[in-house]
A and B are shown apart, each in its own frame.
Chain A
Amino acid sequence: MRDHTFGFRTRALHAGTPPDPATGARAQPIYLSTSFVFDSTEHAAELFALRTYGNIYSRIGNPTVSAFEERMASLEGGLGAVATASGLAAQLSAILCLAQSGDHIVSTASLYGGTVTQFTVTLKRMGIACTLVAGDDPEALRAAILPNTKLVYAETIGNPLGNVADLSALAAIAHENGVPFVVDNTFASPALCRPIEFGADVVVHSATKFIGGHGTVIGGVMVESGKFPWGAGKHPLLSEPSPGYHNMNFAETFGEYAFLMRARTEILRDTGAALSPMNAFMLIQGLETLPLRMAAHVENARIIANFLRGREEVAWVNYAELDDSPYRELAAKYLPSGAGAVFTFGLRGGREAGRAFIEALELWSHLANVGDAKSLVIHPASTTHQQLTDAELQASGVTPEMVRLSVGLEDPGDLIWDLENGLRAAARAAAPAGVQA
C-alpha cells in the first residue's frame, strides 16, 4: 500500500473508527460494558503491568471511548488522547499529570469563569499555586514564571473576552523555561485551529461544545503532541519512580508516551473522571460533521457580527475578525478559516438593557453553554462569571453590559429578526420613562 496523507474532513469521518473487527459494524459500536474478560492469567498480568494494550475496566479505557480519543488525536495532530468526563476534568487531569502540592502554574487571565475558580480556589486548596496574567503581552507572562512553575496555560480564544492568544509566542516562552504549553482549544475546535502546529504540547477541550456540537452530552479530552521532553527532569511526576504505579518511571518506560500513559493509568484511574461510552458515541457523531458545521457557524457569526455593528443600540462588538478588533492580526495568523462563532457585544444602557434584550428573544436560547447547533445567548456578569469577585471580574474583562452570543446554524435572517426584537426592547429599557413612542 502506498502512503497517503488523508485530509481533515476524511479523518473527521474515519480516524479511530475502522469497521468493527468483531462484527463488521460500520458505525462505531457502543461498548456498554464496565469490564472486559482476560484471555488468561498471563494476559491479565501483562495488562495490569502496562506491558500490553487492552481493555480492563471502563474507568481507565473503553473501546468506544478510545475510538473518540484516537479521532481527536488525529484531528489535533497529536500522538494520542485521553478523554474525560468533562472539559473541567480534562484540564484538571492535565495539570495533575504535571504538578503537585508545592508547584505553580501560570495562565493568561482571560479564562472561562469555571476555570478561574478551579485554578484559584480548588488547585490552591490542593497546594498548587496559580498566577493569572492579565493583558495580552507575552512578556508579562514570562515574568510570572517561577522556578517551581510546571506549565503555561491559555485559551486559544478566551471566554468570554474573545481575545486570541499569541500561541507561538507563549509556546516559545514556556519552552525557554522548560515547561509545556497547555492550550484550551474549545472555542476554535481543531477545525479552525490546531495549537500543536504552533507549539502547544497539550490541548484540552470541553468536548461538550462544538465537538459534540448539538448540546447533548458533557465530555472532555486532552490531546498530547508527543514532542515535549518529559524525561528532562522538570517534571518528576513523569521522570522519577511513581509510587502510584509500583515505582514505574513513566518517561523512561514509555518515552514520548509518558504523559498520556500517566494521564490514563494514574490520573484517570484515581480521579475516576472517565467519559461514558454513550457520551463518547455522541461525540464521535459530532466530530463527523465538525468541519462542515464550523464553516457554517463562522459564516453565520460573521453575518451577525456585522449586523450588530450597524445598530445604534449596540455600543461595541468584539469579534476578532472585525477591522477594529485588537486581535485581528492574531486571528488572521491562528484562525485563518474563521475566529469561531462565540463573541460578545455591549448594549447601550447597561445591565437593564441587557436584561430586557434577553427577555425579548424568542429564537436565541438563554442558557449557560456555547457551541450548540442552536443559537445561544447569555449575560455573563449575572451567570457564568457571578462567582468571581469584582476585582476578578474586572481582570477577566467582563462588564455589566456585555452579552455573549454563540451563533448557531439557523437561517441568518431568522436570527437577525429575533435580535432586532431584542434590540428594540433594550432601547426601550434604556430610554427615560415617557420618551419612548
Chain B
Amino acid sequence: MILNTVSQRRDLLARSRTVAMVGASANVTRPSYFVFSYLRTKGLLDVTPINPALREIDGVRAYPSLEAYAAERGAPDIVDVFRKAADALAVTHEAIAAGARAIWYQYGVINEEAIRTADAAGLDVVVDRCIKVEAARFDGGLAIGGLNSGLISARRARPQPVRTRTAR
C-alpha cells in the first residue's frame, strides 16, 4: 500500500532493519551519499549500496544488483531508489524479484507505473520523500535543526543508546 501519513512512515522505519540503496554514490557532495552516510553513522538502519560501478562506500560492501544482494543477504526490508524517474520501473521489478517488503522513491523519483506496480505486488510504497528526512523526523534530528517535525507529544522519548568508553 502507499504510505501517505506520518505514522505509517514511522511504523515502516520502526519495523525495518535492512535498506538496499539503489544508486548510492561515493561522491561526498551527492545527495545519495548524504543519505547513505546519515543512515550508516546513525546505526538505526543497516544500509547497503547497490551500484555496479562501486566495490564499497566507507567500508560498506556494495552489490552490483538487488539480485546479487538478495542472493547473499536475503530480501531487503526497504529498497531506497536514488535513480531518475524513468529508471524507477525497472528498479521496481528488480525490487519485487528480490522480495523487498517496501520500496522508497526519493525526492523527484515519481513514476506512476512503478508506483502502481509496487503497490499491486503488495509492497509498502513511499513516494517523493527522503528516507533521511523521515528518519530524522523520528530520531529528533529535524528538531535539532529547527525544522518542523510535525510531532506533538507529552511522553518522554526513550533515551538513545550512548557509546561510552571504559576508563582504564
Contacts and interface: CB of A to CB of B under 8 A. Distances in A.
B146 A46 contact: no
A237 B145 CA distance: 21
B37 to A, nearest CB: 5
Interface string A85-129: 000000000000000000000000000000000000000000000
Contacts of B146: 61, 65-66, 69-70, 73, 80-83, 260, 264
Given A1-B7, A39-B163, A253-B34, A54 B151 contact: no
A289 to B, nearest CB: 18
Interface string A3-39: 1001000110011101101101010000000000001
Contact of B157 (A2, A21, A26): A21
Given A74-B150, A252-B31, A253-B29, A67 B143 contact: yes
B95 to A, nearest CB: 23
B149 interface: yes
B140 interface: yes
B54 to A, nearest CB: 18
Contacts of B133: 257
A52 interface: yes
A53 B37 contact: no
Nearest to A81: B146
A249 B29 contact: yes
A71 to B, nearest CB: 9
B153 interface: yes
A247 B28 CA distance: 11
A286 interface: no
B148 A54 contact: no
A395 B28 CA distance: 52
Contacts of B160: 21
Contact of B155 (A18, A69, A264): A18
Contacts of A63: 144
A368 interface: no
A49 interface: yes
A74 B148 contact: yes
Contact of B147 (A10, A79, A249): A79
A50 to B, nearest CB: 8
B6 interface: yes
A249 B31 CA distance: 10
Contacts of A1: 7, 10
A51 B141 contact: no
Interface string A245-259: 001110011111100
Contact of B154 (A11, A14, A40, A55): A14
A61 to B, nearest CB: 7
A65 B144 CA distance: 9
Nearest to B4: A3
Contacts of B159: 21-22
Contact of B152 (A10, A50, A69, A81): A10
B166 interface: no
A55 B144 contact: yes
Given A39-B163, A51-B34, A18 B144 contact: no
A24 B154 CA distance: 10
A52 B139 CA distance: 11
B69 interface: no
A43 interface: yes
A42 interface: yes
A53 B153 contact: no
Contacts of A69: 146-147
Q: B10, B152, B154, B159 — which one has the most chain A CB atoms within 10 A of its CB? A: B152
A59 to B, nearest CB: 14
Contacts of B140: 21, 53
A63 B152 CA distance: 17
Contacts of B152: 6, 10-11, 14-15, 18
Contacts of B29: 247-249, 253
B70 interface: no
A158 interface: no
Contact of A78 (B148, B151, B158): B148
Given A3-B5, A40-B163, A248-B29, A61 B145 contact: yes
A18 B137 CA distance: 13
B145 A66 contact: yes
Which of A18, A80, A248: most chain B Cβ within 10 A? A18
Interface in B95-121: 107-108
Given A3-B7, A46-B37, A21 B156 contact: yes
The 10 closest A-B pairs by CB, nearest first: A69-B146, A53-B141, A80-B147, A73-B148, A21-B157, A66-B146, A19-B156, A53-B144, A3-B5, A51-B37
14 contacts: A18-B151, A19-B155, A19-B157, A26-B154, A53-B145, A61-B146, A66-B143, A66-B144, A74-B150, A81-B146, A83-B146, A247-B29, A254-B31, A255-B130
